[in-house]
Amino acid sequence: MYSLVVILPLISAIIVGGKGRSLGEKGSAILSTTLLVFTWIIAIVLFLEIQLENSCLDLPLWVWFDLGFLYNPLGFYFDEITVSMLVVVSSISTLVHLYSTSYMAGDPHLPRFMSYLSLFTFFMLVLVTSTNLVQLFIGWEGVGLCSYLLINFWFTRIQANKAAIKAMVVNRVGDVGLILAMILTWSYFGSLEFSVIFSSLNHLPINTDIYFWLCFCLLIGAVGKSAQLGLHTWLPDAMEGPTPVSALIHAATMVTAGVFLVIRMSPLFELSEQGLLLTALIGSLTAFFAATIGLAQNDVKKVIAYSTCSQLGYMILICGLSHYNTGLFHLFNHAFFKALLFLSAGSIIHALLDEQDMRRMGALQKITPFSALSILIGSLSLMGLPFLTGFYSKDLILELAKDKQIWMFAFWLGLSAAVLTAYYSFRLIFWTFLQYPTVSRQTWQKAHEGNWNLWTPLLILLITSLSIGYLFQSTILKDLPSPMITTSIKWLPTILSLTGALAALTIYHFFKKTWFFTQTSLYQIIYSFLNAAWQFNLVFNHFLVKPIWSIGLNITYNQIDRQLLEKQGPEGLYQVLTKTASNSSWYQAGWLMNYLLIFLVFVTLYSYLW
C-alpha cells in the first residue's frame, strides 16, 4: 500500500498524458487532482507512523543490476527525513494541481500540463524515497527533465525556450558533480547504497582528502539544483513558465532537492571540517547575495524567486553548521509560505491579465482582497515575524549561527539578509497594494478574484503559513540543544526585520518622488548593478559562452566539418568508410560457421594473452 505514494502520480501522468484528449480538460483535471489527493493521504499516514513513532520502513522491490561488486537494488525507504519530504511534496503538489485547474482553464493543452505536473511529482518522490545514489540520480534527472518541459510549456515563446534550455544546461554542471561523487563513493566504499555507505564509516580508516572531495562533489550537485551562488542564474529566468510551475518546482520542491542531498549525506559531511566550512560559506553568501538582488527587481515573480534563492541559502548555511534537522525544518516551513506567495502572486497576475510588473499594479486590495491578504501573510512569514511559520525556523537558524562563535560570518551575513528580505518584501507590498492604481482602466474594471479552485489552495496555504511551524517544531526538531544566546540577540533578527520593513514603507510612501539620493549617479549605478543581478549573466556570456561558441565555429565547424570532412568528399573519407562497412558486413551474414570461427579466434587470442 505504501508504495502507492510514489506510484499514483506516475499513473496520473500516464493516463492523463496518453488519454488526455479522450478525457477532456475537466476529466484530466479531476483525475490527476484526485490521484494526488490520495497520494497526500498516504503521505500523511506514513508521516504519522514513521515520524511520530520514530521508526523506519524499507520496501525492497527488485534488483536492477548485479555486476560483480556493483550491486544496485530498487526500493523505497521511509525514515524521518523521507516522510517529512513526502508531506511537503505531496501537499504542495496537490494544491498546485487544484490551483492549475482554474489558472490554466481554457488552455487547450491543459491535459499535457497536468501530466507534466504529475510526472514531476513522481520523480521527486522517487528522489526522496531512494535507497541508493543511483535511484536518487534517476529522480534527480527526472525532475530536471520535468523542469525543462514545464518552463517551456508555452513553447511558442522565445523567452520560455531560452529559459528552459538555460535551466537544463546550468543544472548539467551540478549533475556532473553528483556523478563524480557517485564514482568516488563506489570506488571508496564499494557500494552506492546509503545503508552500506553509512555503516562503513565506522570501520574504514578516516581519509580526510577523500571525504573532502566527496563533500565537494556533492556540494556542486546541491549548488546546481538548489540555485546557490554561481549556478543560481537559471532560477529567476525559470519564471517564464506558468505560475503554478514556479510554485511547485522553483519554490517548494525541486530546488530543495539539493538541500535534501546534503541532509541525506550528512554523515559524510560530518567527517570533513573543510566540507562543512565550504557549505556554510556558500549558503551564507547566497542568502545575502540573493537578498541584495531582490531589492531592485520589478517583476513580482522574480522578487519572490530571489527570495527563494536567499532562503535556500539559509538551509545550506545551517547544514554547514551541522544542524541538519533545523535545515529540514526550514525546508518544511518554507515550502508552505513560499507556495502561498507564488500562488497569490499568480492570482493577482491572473486578475490583471498577465501583468507582472509590480510598478503597474497598486491598490489591488480593493479588487482582490483575499489575494492581498495572502501575500501579506506570506511576506510576514518570509520575514520571520513572531508566531508565524517562518519565525520558528528562520530565527532559529540565526540563533544557532550566533552560537557558533568561530563562524560568525554566517551569522552576520544571515542577519543582513534578514534585513534586506524585510525591505524588499514591503517594497513589493507597497507597489502592489499601498500606492495608487497604475493599471489601465479597462484592466481594473475586469480584475476580480479567481474561482473556488483558485482561492481554496490559497486559504489552505494561508492557514499553514500561520500555524504549521508551531505545530511541527517539536516533531521535527527532536533533541535539539538550546542555543546559548542572550535575550537581546534572540530578538535582534525580529527587530532588524521590522526596521527594514519600516524603512521600505517610509522611503516609498513619503520620499518616493522627493528623495534626492535617487537622482545621484551612485544610486543609479548601484540600482543598475543589482537590477542586473550583479552582472552574472554578462560575465558568464563573455568569459564562458562566447569562447565556447568561438571554438565551435572556428575549429569544429570551419576546420573539421568544412575542411577535413567536406574536402575529403566521396573520393576520400566517404569512400573509405563505405568500403570498410561493406567488407565488415561479411561478418554479419547470418552464417553460424562465421560466428563460430570469430568466436574461436578471439577466445584463442584471449587465452594466449592472459
Domain boundaries, the chain: 333-512, 520-568, 574-609
* Nearest in space to 111 (alpha carbons), one of 17, 46, 30, 177: 17
pLDDT of amino acid 105: 85
Q: Which amino acid is at 8?
A: L
Cβ 371 vs Cβ 351: under 8 Å: yes
pLDDT of residue 405: 66
pLDDT of residue 360: 87
pLDDT at residue 51 in the model: 80
pLDDT, block means (10 residues), the chain with 610 residues: 89 92 89 95 92 84 81 90 93 93 88 93 94 94 93 91 92 93 92 90 83 94 92 89 84 84 94 92 94 92 92 94 92 92 90 86 87 92 90 89 78 93 92 85 81 90 91 76 70 90 85 63 86 90 88 82 65 68 71 77 75
Eight-state DSSP code of residue 353: T
User: What pLDDT, in 10s, does the model give residues 10-45?
Assistant: 999 999 999 888 888 889 999 999 999 999 999 999
Task: Supply the pLDDT for residue 573.
Answer: 63
Give the amino acid at 197.
I
How many angstroms separate the CA atoms of 190 and 69, rounded? Answer: 7
One-letter amino acid at 509 equals H
Q: If we measure between CA atoms, which residue out of 263, 249, 274 comes closest to residue 100?
A: 249
Q: What is the largest distance, in Å, between two alpha-carbon atoms of the chain? A: 94
**Residue 435: helix, strand or coil by DSSP?**
coil
Using CA atoms, how far apart are residues 399 and 409, in angstroms rounded to an integer? Answer: 13
Threshold 0.85, pTM exceeds: yes
Rounded to an integer, what distance in angstroms lies between the CA atom of residue 303 and that of residue 382?
12
Cell of 459: 486559504
Residue 332 burial (10 A CB sphere; 0-12, 13-18, 19+): buried
User: From the DSSP assignment, how many helices (H) and strands (E) are in the chain?
Assistant: 27, 2
CB 332 within 8 A of CB 339: no
**Separation CA 356–CA 342 (nearest Å):** 12
- Contact (Cβ atoms closer than 8 angstroms) between residue 112 and residue 17: yes
3-state helix, strand, coil in the chain (%, to 5): 80, 5, 20
Contact 493, 418 (CB under 8 A): yes
Amino acid at position 231, single letter = L
User: Using one digit for the tens of pLDDT, what is the confidence trace for 375-387?
Assistant: 999 999 999 888 8
Give pLDDT, residue 587.
67
Contact indicator for 195, 131 with CB cutoff of 8 Å: yes
Report CA Rg, the chain: 27
